[in-house]
Amino acid sequence: MDNFVALFLIISSLFTTSVIADWNILKQRWSRNGVGDSLKNYCESWRMNVEVSNIRGFSVVPQECVGHVKKYMTSTQYKADSKRAAEEIKLYFSGCCTLKGDGKDAWIFDIDETLLSTIPYYNKHGFGGEKLNSTSFEAWIKESTAPALDHTLEIFHEIKNRGFKIFLISSRRETLRSATVDNLIKVGYHGWSNLMLRALDDELMEVKKYQSKMRQRLVDEGYRIWGIVGDQWSSFEGLPSAKRAFKLPNSMYHIA
């Protein structure tokens, strides 16, 4: 019996030491540069660098930061950040543009994490810490239960009422069209000019290229693109560009 207890103590102390050691390595690496010393600092810095597109192409949120990302995406800070973005958008469209009134003044919105929130899905699937399962994600989309982002909903209607034509460009697939339309209408969006989804051909293409192609199509049809609101850099990068782009926060996933 004594032997058993001793063994147990040895094993449990080994386990604790190795967990602490991992964290100490991270901490040392981090504080050697004289910047902060907590996991919170580390994860907030990760999050911020994702937002400004210094960190790209991650397929999952680093495991040690999943809790931090979840906390942020469900916080009043996330709401405040989205609200501030909406205020800046309002400031811009109130004075930016001399609309010609020929029906060719355009504004573009993304869908996920821009008009609609997929947080209820990610809340059940590891908050960006698990690789996206597109089968279960699309099954969730088909339920059409995504809530609106309130601040985007408000500016969506203000932009429309100013006379801009609204285009929705999303990397959602064409097969999700009716579920997407149902969902958008259910939470209060209506009156857009076109909803552009990824056709079979476009699925082979990088999202960034697909987004550019859709903007080119609008420009070829004579539209002037005054603004884009999106949560992914791949919605803004490449040509043709809009006069201004507004990035909404999203550190749960990255679309290249």
Ligand X SMILES: *[C@@H]1O[C@H](CO)[C@@H](O)[C@H](O)[C@H]1NC(C)=O
Which of 13, 28, 77, 136 is the binder for ligand X (CB under 6 A)? 136
**Site string (56-85) toward ligand X, x via CB under 6 A:** ------------------------------
Is 133 one of the binding residues for ligand X (CB under 6 A)?
Answer: yes
Q: How far is the CB of 179 from ligand X (least distance, A)?
A: 16
**In this structure, are strands 165-173 and 105-109 parallel, antiparallel, or unpaired?**
parallel
Contact in structure between 136 and 175 (CB atoms under 8 Å): no
Report in angstroms how near the CB of residue 135 gets to ligand X at its nearest: 4
- Quick one: residue 190, left, alpha or beta (phi over 0 = left, psi -120 to 50 = alpha)? beta
Q: Looking at beta carbons only, is 121 or 167 nearer to ligand X?
A: 121
CB of 112 vs ligand X, minimal distance in Å: 18
Q: Is the peptide bond before 249 cis (omega within 30 degrees of 0)?
A: no
Of 48-56, 67-75, 105-113, 129-137, the segment contacting ligand X by CB under 6 A is 129-137
Contact between residue 172 and residue 199 where contact means Cβ atoms under 8 Å apart: no
C-beta of 84 vs 124, nearer to ligand X:
124
Candidates 106, 133, 110; CA nearest to 122 is: 133
* Residues 6+ positions from 23 with CB-CB distance below 8 Å: 39
Positions touching ligand X (CB under 6 A) are 133, 135-136
